[in-house]
Amino acid sequence: MALSMTAYARCDQDTQWGNLVWELRSVNHRYLEVAVRLPEELRALEPQVREFLGKRLGRGKVDCILRFQTHEISAELAPDDALVSKLIGVGRKLESIAQDSGTSIRPLRAIDILRWPGALRGAGLDAEALGGESLRLLDRTVGEMLDTRRREGAHLAGAIRQKLDAMEGIVQAVRGWLPEVVQKYRDRLTGRLADLRKELDASRVEQEIVLFAQRIDVDEELDRIAAHLSETRRVLDQGGQIGRRLDFLMQEFNREANTLGSKAVDVRLTNAAVDLKVLIEQMREQVQNIE
């Protein structure tokens, strides 16, 4: 099954320490690029979060945000003694440096320390247990994102298959037109010679017709387009990380459509080449969102 790289998921959960909310947003990207934003209390989880997302997602630019809102203050708040001691020490050192240089700075106040991330914490916060809850919630959130990617991927694959069917119809129509195009050239050449009242050299006429047929022969291009149609359907049925393979096939489709257009000597063939290129471009836009 094809997976879209565009998706969004949000999950929240109440814990005994507060409310956790994960938000995941992803858009198309050539590789997997993850941006992680975590609250101060759970900053240490970042390596595990990146590793987890790397195993579950193949491509896409992913914004991964965790929010943590503590419950209303009902428990006793306490400072982080070690962190506060370091901050006080740094403050005193700065004051000493300022005095030695003959300048003055405002002394470090209690409110300045409390504003420092992590300086104040709930007395009962268990960071390890909260981290475990966060990772379990992330697993659920990624699962919802993957469900969204599958649904969107199925929609994209369906749209691409419709374009493939339309291309197949054009290829079949072109195959049917070719004998008629050659016959029209035969009639036109014969008519011109008759208007000039020249004796018709049957062998010379046939030689010109053969040369014309060879010049406009697009059987090889049509065969390759048919092969690419079959391969694209096979890749879509295969599923998984197929975006790069499909992108390559779009380039091959475009190459054959250009060659078909360059050999066109009939307005129907020219229009067919243009229609093929329009369908290819529409598919290419869809493929850009497939993982």
Residue 106 has pLDDT above 80, yes or no: no
pTM above 0.85, yes or no: no
Rg (alpha carbons) of the chain, rounded to whole number? 34
pLDDT in tens, 143-167: 999 999 999 999 999 999 999 999 9
Res. 17 pLDDT band, cuts 50 70 90: confident
Give which of 120, 135, 151 is closest to 11, Cα–Cα. Answer: 135
pLDDT at 189: 63
- Cβ atoms of residues 233 and 167 within 8 Å: no
pLDDT at 74: 45
Domain ranges within the chain, ordered by starting residue: 7-73+128-150, 77-114, 152-287
Res. 234 pLDDT band, cuts 50 70 90: very high
Round to whole Å and give the CA distance between 57 and 143: 10
pLDDT in tens, 65-103: 999 987 654 455 667 778 778 878 877 877 777 777 777
Residue 247 has pLDDT above 90, yes or no: yes
Count the neighbouring beta carbons within 10 Å of the beta carbon of residue 176. Answer: 9
**Over the range 94-118, which residues count as b (16 or more CB within 10 Å of their CB) and which as e?**
eeeeeeeeeeeeeebeeeebeeeee
DSSP structure class, residue 75: S
Res. 175 pLDDT band, cuts 50 70 90: confident
Residue 64's beta-bridge partner residues?
Answer: 24, 36
Q: Under CATH, which number does the domain 7-73+128-150 receive?
A: 3.30.230
Q: Does 197 or 184 have the greater pLDDT score?
A: 184
pLDDT at 81: 75
Tokens of 162: 């419709």
Q: Does 263 or 176 have the greater pLDDT score?
A: 176
Comparing 7-73+128-150 with 152-287, is the CATH topology the same?
A: no
pLDDT at 85: 83
- Cβ atoms of residues 75 and 123 within 8 Å: yes
pLDDT at 288: 93
State mean pLDDT over 130-152.
Answer: 95
Distances (CA, A) of 12 to 24, 135, 213, 280: 12, 12, 68, 42
- Cβ atoms of residues 27 and 61 within 8 Å: yes
- Lookup result for tokens 């329009």: 278
> Among 33-42, 107-116, 138-147, 252-261, where is mean pLDDT lowest?
107-116
Count the neighbouring beta carbons within 10 Å of the beta carbon of residue 232. Answer: 24
Residue 251 has pLDDT above 80, yes or no: yes
Residue 271 zone, left/alpha/beta (φ > 0; ψ -120 to 50; rest): alpha
pLDDT in tens, 36-69: 999 988 999 999 999 999 999 999 999 999 999 8
Architecture of the domain spanning 152-287: Up-down Bundle (1.20)
In the chain the first and final C-alpha atoms are separated, in Å, by 10
Distances (CA, A) of 186 to 189, 201, 271, 288: 5, 13, 22, 46
DSSP structure class, residue 17: S
Round to whole Å and give the CA distance between 110 and 103: 22
Distances (CA, A) of 150 to 144, 267, 275, 282, 285: 10, 42, 30, 20, 18
What does pLDDT average to over the chain?
84
